[in-house]
Amino acid sequence: MMNKIEIKNVNLYYDKFQALKNVNMVVPENRITAFIGPSGCGKSTLLKSLNRMNDLIPGCRIQGEVRLDDENIYGEMDVNQLRKRVGMVFQKPNPFPMSIYDNIAYGPKTHGIRNRTELDEIVVGSLQAAAIWDEVKDRLKKNALSLSGGQQQRICIARALAVEPEVLLMDEPTSALDPISTAKIEDLVLELRNTYTIVIVTHNMQQAVRVSDRTAFFLLGEVVEYADTDKLFSVPRDKRTEDYITGRFG
């Protein structure tokens, strides 16, 4: 099993506040890695460090290395190229206020694809990959904001897939959705694992158990424990992990 991402001695500060403390971990290729832990423990912060979304936050400093296919993303790497390779899906569905078609074609167009036939193929392929093609194929000119929350989130996943990323980051992608939409997204995530490396932040421990291969438990900016999901939940090595997963805190 190859490692897609390697995180080495990462410390991250927002001005004087240290949000991540000496994080070291590897993310295996074509697997689903879940980050769990109480609110404000650093899991979303680390997720956003993997495609340099934290660069956009004033006063944010990062030390250490994040290596994608053994290249440090904080070195010479072009940020636009990085974000093409490492896509992101956010907590709240955030489709652009434009047609379903234009939402999906947006990324490929910004990367220089103008040919209509090629764009059509990308749009259809991405919507199929995000398991929403059958629901929207007759409504591609409709505004994406007219869809339900669960459909909007799958449109956002299709939009991320349209630029052919290698890694998909998902920041609590189902926390704003109902149980049926959540189940659809979870099924989708399991299917996408064959093609992409996926890192998912979740508040829902059952979700981590259902979809992930490996789980990292965060507390106060540190990775307390990182192991195969079934191991971490059945025989946690650290008392703090056990207390969290048995509901004693958090």
Average pLDDT, the chain: 96
Strands 17-28 and 71-72: unpaired
**DSSP per-residue letters across 150-166:** HHHHHHHHHHHHTT--S
Cα–Cα distance for residue pair 110/57, rounded to 1 Å: 23
pLDDT per residue as tens digits for the range 105-161? 999 999 999 999 999 999 999 999 999 999 999 999 999 999 999 999 999 999 999
* pTM tops 0.85: yes
Asked whether residue 250 carries a pLDDT value surpassing 70, the answer given is no
How confident is the model over 82-109, as a mean pLDDT? Answer: 96
**Which residues fall within 8 angstroms of residue 55, CB to CB, at 6 or more apart?**
79
pLDDT per residue as tens digits for the range 163-186? 999 999 999 999 999 999 999 999
Asked whether residue 91 carries a pLDDT value surpassing 90, the answer given is yes
